[in-house]
Amino acid sequence: MTLNFNWGAINHDSVVLVTASEYAVTTPASDEHRFIGAASITVENIAPPSGSTGAISSPAA
């Protein structure tokens, strides 16, 4: 899977920071959906565009 984030303020000179976490819906509902569990999470191949599209593309498993 590839995830794209489009924003005109992003270009080839931009610094991009990415965070990842596990997520679960809770019952009763709360604001604490993200947690650290046993899942292996990888973020890789993040690259701001060299053109003028303002998109960040990343292949995601």
Overall pTM surpassing 0.75 (yes/no): no
CA Rg value for the chain: 15
Residue with tokens 């569990």: 37
Whole-angstrom distance, CA of residue 42 vs CA of residue 16: 16
Chain segment 12-43, per-residue pLDDT in tens: 788 888 888 888 887 887 777 788 888 888 88
pLDDT over 70 at 52, yes or no: no
One-letter amino acid at 25 equals: V
